[in-house]
Structure 1
Amino acid sequence: MKKYTILLLLAIFSGFLSRAQIGLTFDDTLICRGTTITMGATFTGQVNGLNTDDYFTDEVIDIGFPFVFYGQTYNKCVISGNNFISFDTTLATAYSSYQYTTALNSTNGQLNKVAMLGFQDLDLSQGGTLKYQTFGTPGSRRFIVEYCQVPKYGFSCNQYKVTNQIILYEGSNIIEFHTADMPGTPTCPSTNSAANGGNSIQGLRDVTGATTNQLFTPNRAPADLWGTIGSTNSSRRYTPIATAPFYVIDSIPFNPWQIIENANSALLKWYDANGTFLGQGPTMTVTPVNPPSPATGTYYVVEYVGQAGCDLTQTYTFLDTIHVRYDDKKAYVSQAICAGETYNFYGQVLYKSGVYDTTFSTTGLSCDSTIILTLTVNPRPNVTLNENSSVKICQGDTYIFRAVKQTGATYQWIKDGGAIPGATRDTLPATTPGNYRVRITTNKGCVDTSKSVELKVKPNPTVKISYVSRNNFCAEDTVTLKATATGDNLEYVWTPDEYVRRTSLGIYSIAEAAVPQTGYVKVTVYNGDICSASDSVLIKVHPCCEIGMPSAFTPNGDGKNDYFNPILQVGQKVVTLQVYHRNGQLIYDNENPTKGWDGKDKNGNYYTSDVFMYILKYNCSDNKIYEKKGDITIVR
């Protein structure tokens, strides 16, 4: 049974707190709330009747649990009056040799399977007690053998008394030796006989067939004569390992287990979980009501204050706890579902957030129990895609699908029913046709999948520009271009726009371009799906700067050939035009650059037939200034 030290009660307890155990009628019980129970407590210390010198116990002693010693499992043992225990139960009632070498060589192998607290010649007939006890709950029990104030052998040595203890641990198979008092007695025959192999020996020894394993505490081996030196309040722990020497020895704090012996049951006091004193005696009847529902149980503490162990002058305080659990339950549970799901709560089909309860009978004691459910309905993710049922892209383009971004959500994109590996973001770039969806999982585990959106990949048209007219042009000449294209419902866009004059053809596959300088003319073709293709052509032009000049004109006011002016080409522009009389007089200086010279002098009178000189300055498409000189004849 489990030992507890209740901090709540320490203020009311006095004396020396140590390790011990009180035997309880039960330490854990299941009841219906409000049931009356009677708790009982006794003392589990056992006193062995061995009071003769050099013998094993008459009875075979039940350890209380399986214990593994050098790889073999034992459930029982016998105890020798000479300070060791043996797992060879055939030695019960047998004489126990007091000399180590003799015990080793005895025909019945007295030291073949032993744990020696301090093998030596002790004399129980002269006093002292031998105790053994099993404590604890299954899985963590301890078997304890204690030699209490046992005299060393010999009339002059009976005054020297040995007190020590061995503890065997369930599960871990650890062995502990706690030596409270090993008097150093160099004059006692029982401790100074090196010839007999020495005495006061602490360690383990196992003989199985032809194999002997033995291990001794340092400075406590047969040749060390530990009993002549002695020690007090020292402890050693033997921890089993898988390989030789099969145990590891450690020094540990001195902490023996105190056995309560022959105690008065009136010394037992009872307290509830609040530390309230309930009464004293071997039994206590209570109706557990504290703490109230929905607590799953309560506990009671039984206390012993008095003598224990070997030192009857010392006062100890020991506590044990009785746990009372209620078979009825008022359990609070929480459950979460996603919107659109249902939760079956003991026959109730629930789909809304809220608090629900149900009552039922337990299978153990048929106590009424209640389960209170807090149901949370979490929303499903928003799986809206901002697309129509289908979308189109042109071949070579990429379409970006976008899901609604949600904190903590995870995404999986699906194409034609199959998950796309690695497509786990809230956006998806897509280039191939198919039906696309996204499955979103919220941080609450709710899942939903979007509608399907079909991605259509449309073909691009083709286009090629070719010349219709010559391909050697002067600047600003008109060039006729033709675009040859494939595709449906085509529309043509020519650039640069300022160069191009569209023809009367409805689809504008032919265009006329006046190109002022060498450069590209481009056409882009769009089909009915707004997919496009482009082509461009480099048109090389050169400035055509020769200018045409008439040799005569007839300024008579008849509206025909009345002015002298250059014959300009595309890209040419008059800068100045000057006309001189044969005598060198300037008679016209660009006064009417739009129409030219009208054949009159500065007074407005027409000149008669004659020949005149001119100087023309003009620029061309290359923006350079050119000059031309010549004669002009007026004809009357």
Structure 2
Amino acid sequence: MKKGLYALFALFCLSFTAKAQIALTYDDTLICRGAEITMGASVTGQVNSLSSDDYFTAEIIDIGFPFQYFGTTYTQCVISGNNFISFNTALAGMGSSWVYNTAIGNGQLNKAVMLAFQDLYLPAGGTLKYQTFGTPGSRKFVVEFCEVPKFFGTCTQFKVTNQVILYEGTNIIEFHTTNMPGSPGCPSTNATANAVQGIRDVTGGVTQEIFTPGRAPADMWGNTGGQNTSRRYTPSTGTGPAYTVDSIAYDPWQIIEQVNNGLLHWYDANGNLLAQGPTLTTTVSNPPSPAPSTFFVVEYTGPAGCNNTANFTFRDTVVVRFSDIKTYVNAEMCAGSTYDFYGRTLFSPGVYDTTFLSQIGCDSVVILTLGINPLPAANITNADKRAKICSGDRFIFAAEKGNGYQYQWYKDDLAIPGAVQDTFGATAAGVYKVEATTNKGCKKMSAPVELVIAPNPTVKINYFSSNDICALDTVELKAMATGSNLEYIWSPDAYFRRTPGNAKAAEVKAIIPQSGYVYVKVFNNDLCSATDSLFIKAEPCCDMTMPNAFTPNGDGKNDYFIPKLEVSQKIISFVVFNRYGQLVYESTASGSLGWDGRDKNGKELQGGVYMYGLKYSCTDGKVYEKKGDITLMR
């Protein structure tokens, strides 16, 4: 029969009259319903045979668990007949100094827990007991001096009963003083051998010692004594003393030296007596399922404590659990996946059960409630199968968003490190996908989208005119480009607007109003583009050229006197005078034919020299004046 052991105590319905200290074969065990089980109990403590005066026990005593004392862990100790224990096991069997200062000097108190360091006299009577009890993790190590006389002569009438308890896990130390009679004049009350309660450690040359208030070396506690008092030493954390000392309720441990097996009684959960003695063998009743457990109580009523003259009742409990309890399991799987249920492959949601033998050979039923979680919507929302960008551009893939979704982007079936947002900017050609994961861990991969990189065209402006031109001159430009199905856009747009259809051709003419850049941007059939620019220097060219003679004879050649204007120049006023200063011609329009050699009344004037005056503007915004003479020839 296989049994699983667990740390669990259940309380019996009757009250305790003392601390439970029965050692059980099982505290908690797991069996099949209707199976037979044998339980055992023992309650015997240890009595040490030390009866010599001023000695340590020859036996090195196992504490029964690791105990930490001033930061060092110990598992063994020795006990001095002078009312203290030491973690220095090298002292085993050695003499124990009865004078406090002497014991300090020879190092016997370097790792000492002092119930009441004093000169006791075991040869005159009393007992020294110890016991380790409890379940792993919460065990106790108890040392008790029971009615041990003080030293010597008439002082042996003063008998000491006290106890120290070490606690596993918490590393607490408790002192319980049942009787510490005051004894003026006895060795334990003089200046060198006074009774002292406390702890002391010397490690690496560092001395640490903590005493119970009123029970330090200088307090003469052996003179005043005390009864039924308890103190607790609790390890501290952080800075300050290593332990704190508190008064607690007087509650010593009742050690049982020997037990009459007939005083052990076993009861079931209903209080029915089943057996007497150290063991109980029984077939566990089979309560209606799903009752998970039952329990049995073992009880001891008999002598215990310091001198075994008083009767105590101790009880402890064995919990017996059944392994065929139904186990309910809730599980979920993602849509489209399967769930393995003890060898069965499940595809759909629902409630399923199975029965099998447990590790200890019992029937066991597992009931599964299986749910289905939907897959995420894994879609790339801004592209379908194929996307195209120009070289050097970036395409921002966007995944369909979902509450609590997580994302991972892939390129050519490889996860892209760090690409875990709902968007991803791609610059390289390849096949892209996104995997979406819900907060339930369900995953789905999107359909692939191929990203194609289209090449950019190239372009260079060729300039066919001279490098220096006048403002508003017309220049010829040509875009030298590579690529197919190209379209050209020239700018600034106003420079090219005067030539219909001119701005979108490769070869164009531009009217340049001032120095600056002209630009061309070329697009291919993928709408990829390239740009070039050219700086053109355009001077104002405001100097005016005037003829010095004309022949208005109607032959169509040189019949008019008119300024030779550049495109950037405009006439403000143009006047001609005869030699007498009389005005014979006046014009304010740049578009007039000029002076035809007649006066204002249309009469032909005689040949000769005439004077003119001209005002005109230029692209630099200034007004210029020019004066001179003109020869009219007939």
Deviation, structure 1 residue 344: 1.0
Letter in 1 for 2:161: T
Letter in 2 for 1:521: V
Kindly indicate whether residue 26 of structure 2 is the aligned counterpart of residue 29 of structure 1. Answer: no
CA 634–623 in structure 1, closer or farther in 2 if over 3 Å, else same: farther
- C-alpha separation in 1, matches of 2:96 and 2:29: 49
2:158 corresponds in structure 1 to 160
- Name the stretch that deviates more: 589-598 or 137-146: 589-598
- C-alpha separation in 2, matches of 1:304 and 1:50: 26
1:483 corresponds in structure 2 to 479
1:521 corresponds in structure 2 to 518
Which of 604, 622, 634 matches 1:609?
A: 604
CA 527–260 in structure 1, closer or farther in 2 if over 3 Å, else same: same
Deviation, structure 1 residue 328: 2.0
2:102 corresponds in structure 1 to none
* TM-score (ref. length: structure 2): 0.63
Deviations 1:318-350 (A, max 9, x none): 664443323123334344444443221223433
Q: Is the 8 Å Cα contact of residues 522 and 537 (structure 1) preserved in structure 2?
A: no
- C-alpha separation in 2, matches of 1:372 and 1:432: 49
Letter in 1 for 2:491: T
CA 518–224 in structure 1, closer or farther in 2 if over 3 Å, else same: closer
Kindly indicate whether residue 530 of structure 2 is the aligned counterpart of residue 512 of structure 1. Answer: no
- List aligned pairs for 1:235-314, cutoff 5 A: 255-259=251-255, 278-279=270-271, 293=290, 297=293, 309-310=305-306
Deviation, structure 1 residue 539: 3.5
Letter in 2 for 1:495: S
Deviation, structure 1 residue 472: 3.7
> How many residues matched?
573
- C-alpha separation in 2, matches of 1:565 and 1:503: 32
CA 385–316 in structure 1, closer or farther in 2 if over 3 Å, else same: farther
Deviations 1:575-620 (A, max 9, x none): 4566779894788776997778899999xxx734335987665433
- C-alpha separation in 2, matches of 1:365 and 1:613: 138
Deviations 1:423-469 (A, max 9, x none): 55444444444444455555544445555544444444333323323
CA 491–324 in structure 1, closer or farther in 2 if over 3 Å, else same: same
* SS of corresponding position for 1:537: strand
1:212 corresponds in structure 2 to none
Q: Is the 8 Å Cα contact of residues 100 and 199 (structure 1) preserved in structure 2?
A: no
Letter in 2 for 1:571: S
- C-alpha separation in 1, matches of 2:132 and 2:384: 80
Which of 324, 339, 343 matches 1:347?
A: 343
CA 446–381 in structure 1, closer or farther in 2 if over 3 Å, else same: farther
Kindly indicate whether residue 491 of structure 2 is the aligned counterpart of residue 495 of structure 1. Answer: yes
- C-alpha separation in 1, matches of 2:44 and 2:325: 38
Kindly indicate whether residue 362 of structure 2 is the aligned counterpart of residue 366 of structure 1. Answer: yes
CA 583–306 in structure 1, closer or farther in 2 if over 3 Å, else same: same
CA 575–166 in structure 1, closer or farther in 2 if over 3 Å, else same: closer
- C-alpha separation in 2, matches of 1:180 and 1:2: 33
Letter in 1 for 2:617: N
The percentage of counterpart residues that share the same residue type is 43
Deviations 1:100-122 (A, max 9, x none): 79xxxxxxxxxxxx999777324
CA 267–562 in structure 1, closer or farther in 2 if over 3 Å, else same: same
* TM-score (ref. length: structure 1): 0.63
CA 4–542 in structure 1, closer or farther in 2 if over 3 Å, else same: same
Deviation, structure 1 residue 143: 5.4
- C-alpha separation in 1, matches of 2:410 and 2:346: 32
- C-alpha separation in 2, matches of 1:49 and 1:570: 132
Q: Is the 8 Å Cα contact of residues 435 and 446 (structure 2) preserved in structure 1?
A: yes
- C-alpha separation in 2, matches of 1:151 and 1:387: 99
- C-alpha separation in 2, matches of 1:516 and 1:498: 10
1:541 corresponds in structure 2 to 539
Letter in 1 for 2:183: T
Q: Is the 8 Å Cα contact of residues 388 and 451 (structure 2) preserved in structure 1?
A: yes
- C-alpha separation in 2, matches of 1:191 and 1:497: 118
Deviations 1:368-409 (A, max 9, x none): 423334545253463526335444444444444444556655
Q: Is the 8 Å Cα contact of residues 526 and 533 (structure 1) preserved in structure 2?
A: no
CA 140–288 in structure 1, closer or farther in 2 if over 3 Å, else same: farther
1:104 corresponds in structure 2 to none
- C-alpha separation in 2, matches of 1:566 and 1:173: 120
CA 217–45 in structure 1, closer or farther in 2 if over 3 Å, else same: farther
CA 374–165 in structure 1, closer or farther in 2 if over 3 Å, else same: farther
1:44 corresponds in structure 2 to 43
Q: Is the 8 Å Cα contact of residues 355 and 363 (structure 2) preserved in structure 1?
A: no
Q: Structure 2 unaligned segments of length 5 or more: list them.
A: 1-5, 88-92, 100-111, 200-207, 236-241
* SS of corresponding position for 2:252: coil
1:620 corresponds in structure 2 to 618
- C-alpha separation in 2, matches of 1:607 and 1:221: 147
- C-alpha separation in 1, matches of 2:8 and 2:84: 28
- C-alpha separation in 2, matches of 1:259 and 1:568: 134
Deviations 1:193-216 (A, max 9, x none): 99xx97989999xxxxxxxxxx99
Letter in 2 for 1:184: G
2:530 corresponds in structure 1 to 532
Q: Is the 8 Å Cα contact of residues 503 and 510 (structure 1) preserved in structure 2?
A: no
- C-alpha separation in 1, matches of 2:124 and 2:304: 20
CA 359–561 in structure 1, closer or farther in 2 if over 3 Å, else same: farther
* SS of corresponding position for 2:254: coil
Q: Is the 8 Å Cα contact of residues 404 and 426 (structure 1) preserved in structure 2?
A: yes
- C-alpha separation in 2, matches of 1:504 and 1:234: 112
Letter in 1 for 2:533: D
Q: Structure 1 unaligned segments of length 5 or more: list them.
A: 88-93, 102-113, 205-214, 240-247, 273-277
Kindly indicate whether residue 463 of structure 2 is the aligned counterpart of residue 464 of structure 1. Answer: no
Deviation, structure 1 residue 481: 1.9
Deviation, structure 1 residue 181: 1.8
Kindly indicate whether residue 127 of structure 2 is the aligned counterpart of residue 120 of structure 1. Answer: no
1:386 corresponds in structure 2 to 382
- C-alpha separation in 2, matches of 1:477 and 1:123: 136
- C-alpha separation in 2, matches of 1:482 and 1:362: 92
1:244 corresponds in structure 2 to none
* SS of corresponding position for 2:494: helix
Letter in 1 for 2:494: E
